[in-house]
Chain A
Amino acid sequence: MPVEIVMPKLGLTMVSGTIARWIKAPGETVREGEPLVEVSTDKIAYEVESPANGTFARSLGKDGDEFACGDVIGYIALAGEAETGGPGPATASPAPFVEVPRERAAANGTAAASATANGARIISSPAARRLARQLGVALSDVRGTGPRGRITMADVHEVRHSGPAHIAPGDVPAASVTLPPRLPAARRAIYRKMTEVGRLPLAQVETVARVDAVHALMQRRGDFGWTAFAVRAVARLLRDHSDLRTDATTGAPFDRIDIGVAADTPHGLIVPVVRDAERRSLAETQLEIVRLAALARDGAIGADDVGGACFSISNVGPQGVERVSPLPDPPQTAILGIGAATLRPAVETPATERLGGDFAVTSSAPSIVAAWMLTCVVSFDHRFIDGAPAARFLADFARACADPGVLL
């Protein structure tokens, strides 16, 4: 019996998923665990791995087709089974049936003749297709340099000789990124995303905040960490600094203040989201972050807990590093990076202003003191956000660090 490929359920609220892209074309040989199809929900892109060793026999949906979770979206033929195996459309799910083009079904090489990328036909010359078949190059890994991006023989040779490292032009650049052939599956999504981000006009503002007060509070309460503090502070500030939560897809601010938190996991970078961070107390925020981190570490995070953030925070403090210059996670347009809070020499001016007018001004020279300090960087997409609003936001963040009471 052919093995079914099923639309996964990636979260409690997920009822359906869309085939973003078939990574394999019918006729291609697949190994168990090898990425087979990229599916997407409104929140997450996920690569479904092959459930078995065999031949990708048939897809029941084309790119862009939506399936209910649990529906069969294709079949893997095991050794000895017909490559067009699997039940016919009548017994398959009610999802749209797509006849596999004969050319593809007949292809038994490692490269499909006309693999699709994000629903768009790959345009390639006949000779380039044949050459790709002969060389075992996947056309999806080739950047076409001909008219309309047509892949020519020279393009196939180029990949063969230098490996894929190109971004294909086109309507959907991220999906057309050429992946290095030996890239681990876990890195594919970030590879594509960062390739796209790399083309954005990013700018940064940076400051070093005095965080003695936060540090003292943290020591006293013990129920939150630096990440939770940053989430809480940022969530509060974003209410007014709506520029910093611009949605790149609309150009207008995100409505909900959901904050993404970059997490280092054995499965690579994952960015779980603290939903409605604005409404959570510091302690609740901390609990949520702990919960999300555990799920992420275990590879159990669901679609409900990722995607949709309006802003993200990257904290490299746990690694003991003082400064990070992060990249925004589109369609978000800004991100805050914080390092480790450390004691650093600080220059203190006389406390006149700080202490208020009740004291006589006892003017004295500035002095150097040891202070808890935090390096903060805001990276932002300059297409949507100018330097001044970003600087005001960062200044307000630094102020909150100095006087956390406003958050509590």
Chain B
Amino acid sequence: MSRTITFTEATLEAMREEMRRDPTVFLMGEDIAKQGGIFGQFRGLPQEFGFDRVRDTPISEAALVGAGVGAALTGCRPVVDMHFADFITCAMDEVVNQAAKLRYMFGEQCIVPMTLRAPDGITKSAGSQHSQALEGWFVHTPGLEVVIPADAEDAKGLLKAAIRSDNPTLYFEHKMLFPQKGPVPDDDDFVVPIGKAKTMRDGEDVAIVTYGITVGRAIEAATLLEAEGIRATVINLRTVWPLDYDAIADAVARTHRVVVAHEAVRVGGVGAEIASFIGEHCFDELDAPVLRLGAAHVPVPFAPVLQEAMYPRAAMIADAARRLVRRDV
């Protein structure tokens, strides 16, 4: 059985269930307790768990993440909210040099079970410093897990998995997804396993490998294509590190034509890793080049017309798939 709830409610359920389950789970971030989070994603939690476990913090990203690492090293499972994913830049040392590396450097003496919630992505004219999708940096940083929910089900299942994970996990949640509704299983113990992709649609003509908000755009594209007789597989990666290479390889073997799409900048993005993997490991399966779609290599602009021009939307994804199927590329 499942219920239809918003993405935000799904994350609230995840945190509520994990905090009830494990007293060492606590939350901290800017504007999360009294305000309930700038997207309402923490609303009601202090009332149940108190302000010690749902902490408003100074605007000190380095301290928040650093303290998150320290708490994680010493027996807690902190969830640190980055306010906007863009501000993770203010805590890069803590994420990259500390959280990611300590377990390895210290010969596995410790675990760093910290979750970073990072609301990201292009939102209505939020502009260059509040719109980025930065997952690529962290995929490139050994020691981190990176999960990116695409819908309410993922939102709950992946957040619970992130909190339970003994590895430092970045949870990138697209700001535009918060109000979106979707079915979520009733099971209190529903967890989406980290490192496993989900096939959202099956079709043998072309595969669209994607994650996060672009999954919805890919499904929209697949619907457009279906009207033209083109059947598309849509792979929702759910986790971008560790990547579900097997699911990618399976999709390539089924369709032989692949579009990789994400909202993050195309150059050097996760799509590059996926395309490269396909080239190395699935070469004989390819009937056409892998097409990569991602944002243009420019900051996200403010003017709506500019903003809408620079990242892949459903029509662009459909067009790429169409070109592959029609052998235009």
Contacts and interface: CB of A to CB of B under 8 A. Distances in A.
Direct contact of A and B (CB under 8 A): yes
Interface of A: 125-130, 145-147, 150, 152-154
B283 A126 contact: yes
Contacts of A146: 288, 327
B205 to A, nearest CB: 11
Contacts of A152: 287-288, 327
A153 B287 CA distance: 6
Interface of B: 256, 283-288, 327-329
Contacts of A126: 283-287
A157 to B, nearest CB: 11
* Secondary structure dominating the interface of B: loop
A127 B329 contact: no
B120 to A, nearest CB: 35
Contact of B328 (A125, A127, A147): A147
Contacts of B327: 145-147, 150, 152, 154
Interface centre among A127, A150, A153, A154, by most chain B C-beta atoms within 10 angstroms, is: A127
A128 B286 CA distance: 8
21 contacts: A125-B286, A125-B287, A125-B288, A126-B283, A126-B284, A126-B286, A126-B287, A127-B256, A127-B284, A127-B287, A129-B284, A130-B284, A130-B285, A146-B288, A146-B327, A147-B327, A147-B329, A150-B327, A153-B256, A153-B287, A154-B327
A145 B287 CA distance: 12
A125 B329 CA distance: 11
Nearest to A125: B287
Contacts, number: 32
Nearest to A150: B327
Nearest to B279: A126
A359 B177 CA distance: 111
Closest 10 CB pairs of A and B: A127-B287, A146-B327, A125-B287, A130-B284, A153-B287, A127-B256, A126-B284, A126-B283, A126-B286, A152-B287
Contacts of B285: 126-127, 130
A127 B252 CA distance: 10
A139 to B, nearest CB: 14
Contacts of B288: 125, 146, 152
Contacts of B283: 126
B183 to A, nearest CB: 36
Contact of B286 (A127, A145, A147, A154): A127
A145 to B, nearest CB: 6
Nearest to A144: B327
Contacts of A129: 284
Nearest to B323: A147
A153 to B, nearest CB: 5
Interface centre among B285, B287, B328, by most chain A C-beta atoms within 10 angstroms, is: B287
Contacts of B328: 147
Interface centre among B283, B286, B288, by most chain A C-beta atoms within 10 angstroms, is: B288
A127 B284 CA distance: 5
Nearest to A129: B284
A153 B286 CA distance: 9
Nearest to A156: B287
B285 to A, nearest CB: 5
A146 B287 CA distance: 10
A153 B285 CA distance: 10
B276 to A, nearest CB: 15
Given A126-B284, A147-B327, 14 more contacts: A125-B256, A126-B285, A127-B256, A127-B285, A129-B284, A130-B285, A146-B288, A146-B327, A150-B327, A152-B288, A152-B327, A153-B287, A154-B287, A154-B327
A318 B253 CA distance: 61
Contacts of B329: 147
A17 B327 CA distance: 39
Contacts of A130: 284-285
A146 B285 CA distance: 16
Contacts of A147: 327-329
A61 B301 CA distance: 58
A228 B183 CA distance: 91
A48 B213 CA distance: 62
Nearest to A128: B287
A145 B284 CA distance: 19
Contacts of A153: 256, 287
A153 B288 CA distance: 9
Nearest to B288: A125
A152 B327 CA distance: 8
A237 B327 CA distance: 53
A191 to B, nearest CB: 27
A294 B256 CA distance: 57
